[in-house]
């Protein structure tokens, strides 16, 4: 592969550092859980010399030893950075969780990276969620390659899997997704399975034998030649089709031999442009071995074929108040523009921010400006402050290795940014900037919580604030109607991790409670009520009588109060008191304890006493009158109805529409939403979609997405209304 290198390696045992963007590669690993992404990262770190042959860093931990929750759950739940060196290139490997609940961590990894390795299993195929991420990368032109794992599985079929990848990822051009190497099988074992012992390079026409635990290069055996010839011809045609030399294909088809150097250069350019997607194979090293199958080939592809940060566009920037700014380039000497892509808390160090530097250079102990878009609906405050940063470091497992600086294109951990949150921009205090935000999924699974004890209640507010500061895919709501504290998450696993972090990291024990929907009450017919509040207990008494009429209004009208008193039956100064009492009682409810809406209350008559009448007495009378009117009328419970938009693969449209109908939903229509996708629009009662984030994922095999927005309140079916009243009585 090529050589776009300019790097200064760290001292032996220290963290790798880079002086120029050309010496950097930022690569994110993508794929669902259980495919071996973390194992692959460790194999690459081992091959690059970051680990010893036991797979440990110098402190005895693994590069994946980061979060106690991950150990307990036996899966990755957060983005992790593993920087390694290969030759003179610093490679920042970003390992992402594969479980759908942690897609926010995946999006952060995509934001921080310049290229992606898609990890798929030779025995499982390509799932719909992985195809959707591929399309996200395609939309922004991110270069990609495919790594096939689990070749040791008895059901593994490399040839079939490369064909599946071509159909899944290649779209109209499956020849843009082709293998660079073919697996070399060893001797057949007792179970009849022939393990993969090496790789056959199609361009180099060489065999790379890994059976000894080290890569040994040799000529292919005669029986390999026909296999090489067929696959090599297709690969060369795929590479030449992306060549900038428009005459090369005609010359090749005319019989001209294309030299190896030209093929490699064209391959690298096509990969870096994101128009050709090589397929490679990988397997972890045997115990005590230095090299796992395919690790060296992967490192060669990353350093030679993937783009440097300087070859990628910097996200657009504005001034913090939205004013225009000139586009930036990935220049270490340019204006500082960096972004917090992840926030975590360390019990000993405090808050640590993983930062991608897009322009300029960041150094320890300097003062930077922190700008944030603010997501008040998710519990994140807007930021526009100066902060002094602490030490800079590179993570290796649980160890933070200090680094002197981070140049444009690099990733670094920054300590002591107490105000900055994920998604915030760091820039010069003399030239503040704000970067265009990346798209984050909306959390649509509500979980109501309450403190387990009085001691927990005292710490709950601070713990929740720190929790949502780390995770922009989580939304904190203090529901004013139900008086519940609600965490909005992406799924059940997301909930489990959030509550575990509250307990383990912030020392706050919470209990889950049933989530309450904000119901309303209204009158179903006209009604009259009389409020009489007369008491005499020595001294000034209390005297107030009022008569009202209540009638229903259209949805969304609120509460309307009308004064029709004649002859001064209720003195003018006490009419606002009656209204205040009516509204106070309406807020408390008149049947099941939910606020009353959409009524007109007309004050018709009343009586007052020259001494004993007062503001408080008429407030009480107004409340009593509304309650009496409700006792003689039909009271409807109103439930919130949401407009739901479901984006789903065409094959799941029928099941989705049937499921929505079963939730008392009204399907409003469907419309095409791109190749193989349909948008289903419906109106569904909120009480029916509390767990829809989980149910849709199951129904659509992980490919469905939905959004929801409040439409209105409307009457609940009588049988459900009666059931809720019984539960509250």
- Domain locations in the chain? 21-311, 317-435, 445-513, 520-633, 638-728
Residue 316 token pair? 């657009």
- Phi, psi dihedrals of residue 224, rounded to the nearest 5°: -85, -20
pLDDT on residue 56: 52
Each residue of 317-364: pLDDT tens digit? 999 888 999 999 999 999 999 999 998 876 667 789 999 999 999 999
At residue 62 the predicted structure's pLDDT band, cuts being 50, 70 and 90, is low
Question: Considering the domain 317-435, what is its CATH architecture?
Answer: Beta Barrel (2.40)
Q: Which fold has domain 520-633?
A: Ribosomal Protein S5; domain 2 (3.30.230)
Residue 4, pLDDT score: 40
Residue 729 has pLDDT above 80, yes or no: no
In what helix (H) or strand (E) does residue 506 lie, and over which residues does it extend? Answer: none
Q: Which pLDDT score, from 0 to 100, does residue 377 have?
A: 59
**pLDDT at residue 67, as a whole number:** 55
**Residue 283 reports pLDDT greater than 70:** yes
CATH architecture of the domain formed by 445-513: 2-Layer Sandwich (3.30)
Burial class (CB within 10 angstroms; exposed 0-12, middle 13-18, buried 19+) of 15: buried
Q: d(Cα 128, Cα 115) in Å, to the nearest integer?
A: 20
432-474 confidence digits (pLDDT tens): 999 998 888 889 999 999 999 999 998 999 889 888 888 888 9
pLDDT of residue 642 exceeding 50: yes
- From CA 77, how far away is CA 34, in angstroms rounded? 12
Are 445-513 and 520-633 equal in CATH topology? no
Quickly state the pLDDT bin for 506 (edges 50, 70, 90). Answer: confident
Q: Pick the closest to residue 638 from 595, 668, 702, 691 (CA basis).
A: 595
Given a contact cutoff of 8 angstroms between Cβ atoms, the answer to whether 345 and 501 are in contact is no
What angle is formed at CA 70 by the lines to CA 69 and CA 72, rounded to 5 degrees? Answer: 65
List, as one string, the DSSP characters of 682-712.
EEEEGGG-TTHHHHHHHHTTT--EEEEEEEE
Q: Which of 33-47, 100-114, 525-539, 577-591 has the highest mean pLDDT?
A: 577-591
Please name the fold of domain 21-311.
Answer: Rossmann fold (3.40.50)
Is residue 54 scored above 90 in pLDDT? no
Q: What is the pLDDT of residue 3?
A: 38
257's CB contacts (< 8 A; 6+ apart) are: none
Give pLDDT, residue 8. 39
Q: What is the pLDDT of residue 419?
A: 84
> What is the arithmetic mean of pLDDT over 674-693?
94
Q: Which of 124, 100, 123, 84 is nearest to 30 (CA)?
A: 100
Indicate whether 541 pLDDT > 60.
yes
User: What pLDDT does residue 347 have?
Assistant: 64
Spatial separation of the C-alpha atoms in residues 582 and 259, rounded to whole Å: 89
Q: Is 477 exposed, middle or buried (0-12, 13-18, 19+ CB in 10 A)?
A: middle
Topology, domain 638-728: Alpha-Beta Plaits (3.30.70)
Determine the length of the chain: 729
Q: 166 with 174: CB under 8 angstroms? A: yes
- Asked if residue 197 lies in contact with residue 209, where contact means CB atoms within 8 angstroms, the answer is yes
């Amino acid at each position: 592969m090529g050589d776009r290198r300019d790097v200064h390696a760290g001292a032996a045992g220290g963290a790798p550092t880079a002086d120029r963007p050309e010496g950097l590669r930022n690569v994110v690993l993508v794929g669902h859980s259980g495919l071996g992404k973390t194992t692959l990262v460790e194999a690459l770190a081992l091959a690059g010399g970051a680990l010893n042959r036991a797979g440990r860093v110098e402190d005895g931990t693994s590069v994946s030893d980061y979060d106690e929750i991950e150990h307990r759950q036996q899966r990755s739940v957060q983005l992790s950075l593993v920087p390694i060196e290969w030759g003179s290139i610093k490679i920042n490997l970003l390992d992402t969780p594969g479980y759908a609940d942690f897609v926010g961590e995946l999006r952060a990894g995509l934001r921080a990276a310049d290229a992606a390795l898609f990890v798929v299993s030779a025995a499982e195929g390509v799932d719909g969620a992985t195809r959707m991420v591929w399309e996200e990368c395609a939309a922004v032109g991110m270069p990609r390659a495919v790594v096939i794992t689990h070749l040791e599985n008895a059901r593994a079929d490399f040839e079939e899997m490369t064909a599946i990848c071509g159909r899944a990822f290649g779209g109209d051009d499956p020849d843009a997704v082709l293998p660079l190497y073919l697996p070399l099988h060893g001797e057949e074992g007792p179970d009849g399975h022939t393990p993969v012992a090496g790789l056959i390079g199609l361009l180099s026409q060489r065999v790379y034998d890994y059976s000894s635990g080290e890569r040994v290069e040799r000529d292919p055996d005669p029986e390999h030649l026909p296999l090489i010839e067929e696959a090599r011809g297709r690969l060369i045609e795929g590479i030449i089709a992306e060549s900038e030399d428009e005459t090369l294909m005609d010359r090749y088809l005319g019989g001209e031999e294309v030299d190896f150097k030209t093929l490699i250069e064209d391959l690298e350019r096509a990969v870096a442009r994101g128009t050709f997607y090589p397929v490679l194979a990988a397997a972890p090293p045997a115990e005590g071995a230095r090299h796992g199958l395919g690790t060296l080939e992967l490192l060669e592809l990353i350093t030679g074929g993937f783009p440097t940060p300087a070859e990628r566009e910097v996200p657009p920037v504005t001034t913090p108040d939205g004013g225009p700014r000139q586009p930036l380039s990935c220049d270490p000497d340019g204006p500082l523009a960096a972004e917090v892509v992840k926030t975590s808390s360390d019990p000993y160090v405090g808050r640590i921010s993983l930062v991608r530097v897009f322009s300029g250079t960041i150094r320890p102990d300097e003062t930077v400006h922190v700008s944030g878009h603010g997501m008040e609906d998710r519990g994140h405050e807007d930021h526009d402050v100066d902060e002094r940063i602490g030490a800079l470091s590179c993570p290796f497992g649980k160890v933070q290795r200090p680094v002197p600086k981070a140049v444009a294109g690099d990733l670094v951990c920054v300590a002591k940014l107490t105000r900055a949150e994920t998604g915030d921009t760091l820039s010069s205090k003399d030239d503040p900037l704000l970067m265009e935000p990346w798209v984050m999924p909306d959390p649509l699974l509500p979980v109501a919580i309450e403190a387990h004890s009085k001691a927990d209640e005292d710490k709950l507010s601070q713990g929740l604030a720190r929790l949502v500061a780390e995770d922009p895919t989580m939304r904190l709501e203090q529901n004013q109607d139900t008086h519940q504290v609600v965490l909005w998450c992406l799924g059940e696993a997301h909930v489990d991790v959030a509550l575990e972090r509250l307990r383990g990291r912030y020392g706050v024990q919470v209990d889950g409670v049933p989530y309450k929907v904000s119901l309303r009450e209204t009158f179903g017919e006209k009604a009259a009520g009389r409020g009489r509040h007369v008491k005499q207990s020595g001294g000034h008494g209390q005297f107030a009588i009022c008569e009202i009429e209540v009638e229903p209004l259209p949805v969304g009208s609120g509460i309307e109060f009308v004064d029709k008193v004649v002859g001064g039956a209720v003195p003018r100064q006490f009419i606002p008191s009656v209204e205040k009492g009516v509204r106070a009682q309406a807020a408390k409810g008149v049947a099941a304890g939910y606020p009353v809406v959409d009524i007109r209350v007309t004050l018709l008559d009343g009586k007052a006493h020259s001494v004993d009448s007062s503001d408080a007495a008429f407030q009480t009378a107004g409340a009593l009158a509304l309650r009496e009117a409700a006792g003689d009328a039909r009271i409807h419970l109103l439930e919130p109805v949401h407009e739901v938009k479901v984006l789903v693969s065409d094959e799941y449209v029928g099941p989705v529409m049937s499921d929505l109908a079963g939730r008392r939903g009204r399907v409003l229509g469907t419309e095409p939403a791109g190749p193989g996708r349909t948008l289903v629009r419906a109106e569904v009662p909120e009480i029916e979609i509390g767990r829809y984030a989980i149910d849709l994922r199951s129904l659509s095999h992980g490919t469905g997405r939905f959004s929801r927005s409040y439409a209105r309140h409307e009457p609940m079916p009588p049988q459900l209304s009666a059931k809720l009243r019984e539960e509250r009585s």
